[in-house]
Amino acid sequence: MSRPYPSCQGPPPPSLREIPAIGKRAPAPCTCRRSPAQIHALIAYLPTHGQNVTGVFRSPQFHPCFRVSPVVRRGRISVTTTARTAANTLTATLNPRIRHSGFAALVTSAEDAAAMIGNGATVGMSGFTGSGYPKAVPTALAARAEAEHAEGRPFRVRVLTGASTGPELDGVLARADAIEFRTPFNTDPFLRDRINKGETDYVDMHLSQLAPMVWGGIYGDLDVAVVEISGITENGQLIPSASIGNNKTWLDRADRIILEVNSWQSAELEGMHDVYYGTRLPPNRVPIPLIRPDDRIGQPYFDVDFSKVVAVVETDAPDRNAPFTPPDENARLIAGHLIEFLEHEVKRGRLPRSLLPIQSGVGNVPNAVMTGLCDAPFDPMTAYTEVVQDGMLDMLDAGALRLASATAFSLSTDAAERFNSNAGAYRGKLILRPQEISNHPELVRRLGVIAMNGLIEADIYGNVNSTHVMGSRIQNGIGGSGDFARNSFMSIFLTPSTAKGGKISAIVPMAAHVDHISQDVQVIVTEQGLADLRGLAPKKRAAALIQNCAHPSYRPLLEDYFARAMRDSWGLHAPRILPEALSWHQRYVETGSMMP
């Protein structure tokens, strides 16, 4: 079937469809996708004025209260009621986070909402690095999947998110074996296990690219969006939660929308977001008008087509992130080497005194670097990054950072409580944006971001594996590291020189998988030291990495390998002993250690 290329990507015109005035017909054709329960709730709300309402709705089924024309799945049915229905569903309007009566009328249970998601559906869910993910509906969906499976019926969905979520989303759904397909990022151990057993298809993607690819039709139609928000305004706009991620895209693209309004999220989040509505599909893209991390180029709320909203679920549940371990000696050493290097770059006139906007991956080592930067002799910095971790809050508190732009929080329980109890203090210092914008190559390159990311292993030439343990098991995913490393002003990777108590070396003869090619890896730092690889040809990169970064227990092995490669390799541009290149990984698989 032939269809025209969409001339523009972007939200539907902000034509928030209001409930028709009492006694009036709803504008026809109504494009709403509400379930009978929602139609019921809507009508339950309206007759409090004591009048009847007539409207035209699309519904998968119809509600028994109504006199309706024949049911057509997803077709249009006429609904008329003269019944004054139970006003007790109106308790939802008491929630101060829901300041729009139309939405209040759609409040329903997580179970009823989950019932609107069919087997095989493609679902766009909120959530980025364990914050702002829906908590009630996925849990109910998992229960439903288990019930279906118990009856011998298949039930699995395709799940798209911003990035990683929490145990109440990926965890419960993975345990229920309810995820057929997952993209673009995951950190949940249960889901990881499904993926590595070959039971769930997983596409780890550059995080800036999922939204445009969904707009471009690559992932098919988006059946449902399940998005956590922190509130709904009087005008029916949505106040984002602790992450923005791909939510704008899910709201714009999904056929139906389920909202979770989470009262646990700070009400002070309102106004901290900057949702840019200028993205388009080519050839209609224009420059993104952001030239400083501080710039606001959008609006603080999501627009939403009310007619697509089928359920509003109330929650009061915390984001669940693991606490950071206090920086250990290795993390402190890594931070020390890095800060010394940055000072050196400032002294040589290659970085300004306030550095350039920093991006930091998630984890204990990057967090330790942030902590170290609190006392570093730089002018107040900015961050243009994916995620605000504990360490960045510390930097903001200490005045070392004057502004952080991100798409999400990823705070430990303690830090989240600290933030929530005093969120107003961060007003003007924190901006959350869609991940399409926080990670946009155009902006990363323009701002000259200093990218700092972690790795699993680097080979002696500086090719980095961030994702595939021993080349075949996925750890998390590439996430935004590729968006930043490729386009940054300076791309730095940080890692302890060994893992698993010394049984794995972070510097290996050959990486068993490559996520960041050597061109995108300019500096590597371990607790042993720092290798500045910029402008170095392969053999000089190898010398620097082996000498400065490898652990002393692996250094002689690497030196021996490299010396023999210099003698025996087919080519001497990047010498390699092919039969031995992956032998360390094989030894680990066989013996549990890379050490011979």
Binding residues: 361-365, 456, 476, 480, 500
From 64, 287, 399, 596, residue interacting with its own copies (rule: CB under 8 A): 287
Place of tokens 């960045």: 392
Residue ranges in 418-457 that form contacts with its own copies under rule CB under 8 A: 440-442, 445-448
Sole binder of its own copies in the list 181, 264, 277, 378 (CB under 8 A):
181
Window contacting its own copies (CB under 8 A); options: 83-91, 287-295, 369-377, 551-559: 287-295
Annotated binding-site ranges for CoA? 361-365, 456, 476, 480, 500
Question: Least distance from C-beta 8 to its own copies, angstroms?
Answer: 11
- Among 177, 252, 515, 527, indicate the residue that binds its own copies (CB under 8 A): 515
Round the CA-based radius of gyration of the chain to a whole number and report it: 26
Q: Is 10 left (phi over 0), alpha (psi -120 to 50) or beta?
A: left
Residue with token string 């990670």: 439
CB closer to its own copies out of 487 and 528: 487
In the complex with its own copies, the residue whose CB is nearer, 5 or 152, is 5
Positions 338 through 357 that interact with its own copies (CB under 8 A): 346-353, 356-357
Q: How many residues bind its own copies (CB under 8 A)?
A: 96
* The one among 4, 13, 64, 152 contacting its own copies by CB under 8 A: 4
Q: Does 513 bind its own copies (CB under 8 A)?
A: yes
Q: Given the complex with its own copies, which of 50 and 282 has the nearer CB atom?
A: 282
From 149, 320, 418, 486, residue interacting with its own copies (rule: CB under 8 A): 486
From the candidates 314, 386, 436, 457, which is the catalytic residue? 386
Task: Look up tokens 């990486």; give the residue.
Answer: 511
d(CA 411, CA 324): 9
Nearest to 239 by CA among 253, 259, 215, 256: 259
Instruction: Rank residues 326 and 352 by Cβ distance to its own copies and give the closer one.
Output: 352
Considering only residues 188-227, where is the footprint of its own copies by CB under 8 A? Answer: 195-198, 201-206, 209, 212-213, 216-219
Determine, following the binding rule CB under 8 A, whether residue 575 of this chain makes contact with its own copies.
yes
Q: Would you put residue 177 in left (φ > 0), alpha (ψ -120 to 50) or beta?
A: left
Considering only residues 532 to 571 of the shown chain, the ones binding its own copies according to CB under 8 A are 534-537, 539-540, 566, 569-571
578 touching its own copies, by CB under 8 A? yes
Q: Which residues is 239 bridged to in the sheet? A: 231
Of residues 5, 125, 128, 8, the one with CA closest to residue 437: 128
Pairing between β-strand 224-232 and β-strand 256-262 as defined by DSSP bridges: parallel
Q: Does residue 592 come out as left (phi exceeding 0), alpha (psi in the -120 to 50 range) or beta? A: left
Closest Cα to residue 285, out of 104, 441, 69?
Answer: 441
CA atoms of 257 and 245, how far apart (whole Å): 16
Using left for φ > 0, alpha for ψ between -120 and 50, and beta otherwise, residue 500 falls in left
Smallest separation (angstroms) from its own copies to the CB of 156:
14
Catalytic status, residue 386 = yes
Residues 39, 307: Cα–Cα separation, whole Å: 11
Which of 57, 301, 489, 493 touches its own copies (CB under 8 A)? Answer: 489
352 Cα distance to chain centroid: 31
Q: Does 263 bind its own copies (CB under 8 A)?
A: no
Active site residues: 386
